[in-house]
Structure 1
Amino acid sequence: MAKVLDLYARASRVPVVGRGAFSLAFGLKAPYFLTIAPSVVELRPNHATVRIRKWWGVQNHIGTVHVIAVANGLEMAMGALAEASIPDHLRWIPKGMELEYLALADSVITATADTDPADWTGPGEVAVRVEATRADGTAVVRGVIRLHVSERPTRQ
């Protein structure tokens, strides 16, 4: 848990370059994230924010940000939140995603993920609340990403 937060805090000392380097390094942990050119703009326990810029590589046939690109940003925010929130003796893996498509994503997208501290007390399921908003604040996608949380195996 502390590792990712420590790296983010150190990177944030140089806001543009540092956060860009952090976002790239985090994206390399799951290279598919890099397809949306994401930027982690806020990270703390139980909250993460990722920005997805609107560019041709994420647009659909009508010129809006493709909903799968938006979902990818939400999953990245969830992953950053999980890494920043989970106690060291636990591990997580996604087990499902339920999303509602609410409006066209016609601008830069801000993807957020949130949990409560009590969600990380032990093994079980954690429901991460996710929402993507466009530049005018309108929610374009909202939902839940469910995680399976289990004890980390002890090393021998």
Structure 2
Amino acid sequence: MSRVLTMWRTTTGLPLVGASLGARTFSALFARQAPYFATIRPRFTEIGPNRAALVIPKRKRVHNHLGTVHAIALCNGLEAAMGALAEATVPADKRWIPKGMDVSYTAKATSDITCVAETDPEQWTGLPDEGADLPVRVRGTRDDGTVVIEGVIRLWVSPRRRD
């Protein structure tokens, strides 16, 4: 099991802490690994193979000139969700790196935004030794269920170096 998935299951499964406080603890620890993620204060709600979700709280520090969640904050949330999914899913003999992101902004982000990243299990099997592109579907939704951003983050998945 990956380090990220182990940390998620440990922090959210502590009986004295509870799942909610455990998820907040995990979110803070995750953001420390890639400090730019801390700018959006992600609150992870789900992490597992092939799916991860988090919430970006709508607050002044992530607003644009319209008072909605800024487009780059949305992309930051999508990338954080994708990173958690990739860490929880990538085979032990492989590594990954983001290669590109294609997104469409489909509505104003006027509430907290739930960012979701998803793959299909078969995408991770039979990866060639020379490396391969792997698309991760991403989307962000408002509290009312309206999709405000959607797209694909492309990963480059290759064999882990043996140094």
TM-score range, shorter chain: over 0.9
Q: How many Å apart are 1:2 and its aligned residue? A: 2.5
State the SS of the aligned residue for 2:22.
Answer: helix
Deviation track 1:49-85 (CA, whole Å, cap 9, x = no partner) reads 0100000000011110001101100000000000000
1:137 aligns with 2:126: no
How many residues get paired?
155
Give the aligned partner of residue 11 of structure 1.
11
TM-score (norm 2): 0.92
Residues 11-90 of structure 1 mapped to structure 2, 5 A cutoff: 11-13=11-13, 14-90=18-94
Give the aligned partner of residue 113 of structure 1.
117
Mapped to 2, the partners of 1:3 and 1:59 lie a distance apart of 33
Mapped to 1, the partners of 2:4 and 2:140 lie a distance apart of 23
RMSD: 0.9
State the SS of the aligned residue for 2:153.
Answer: strand
Mapped to 2, the partners of 1:90 and 1:118 lie a distance apart of 15
Mapped to 2, the partners of 1:82 and 1:139 lie a distance apart of 22
Q: How many Å apart are 1:15 and its aligned residue? A: 1.4
Q: How many Å apart are 1:35 and its aligned residue? A: 0.2
Aligned amino acid, residue 83 of structure 1:
E
Mapped to 1, the partners of 2:144 and 2:132 lie a distance apart of 37
Pick from 78, 99, 105 the counterpart of residue 95 of structure 1.
Answer: 99
Among all aligned residue pairs of Structure 1 and Structure 2, give the percentage whose two residues are the same amino acid. 50
Q: How many Å apart are 1:31 and its aligned residue? A: 0.4
Give the aligned partner of residue 162 of structure 2.
154
Aligned amino acid, residue 143 of structure 1:
G
Moved over 6 A (4+): none
Q: How many Å apart are 1:48 and its aligned residue? A: 0.2
Aligned amino acid, residue 6 of structure 1:
T
Q: How many Å apart are 1:4 and its aligned residue? A: 1.4
| Runs of 5+ unmatched residues, structure 2 | none
Mapped to 2, the partners of 1:27 and 1:65 lie a distance apart of 19
Mapped to 2, the partners of 1:146 and 1:24 lie a distance apart of 25
Mapped to 2, the partners of 1:107 and 1:15 lie a distance apart of 23
Q: How many Å apart are 1:16 and its aligned residue? A: 2.0
Q: How many Å apart are 1:3 and its aligned residue? A: 1.9
Give the aligned partner of residue 127 of structure 1.
135
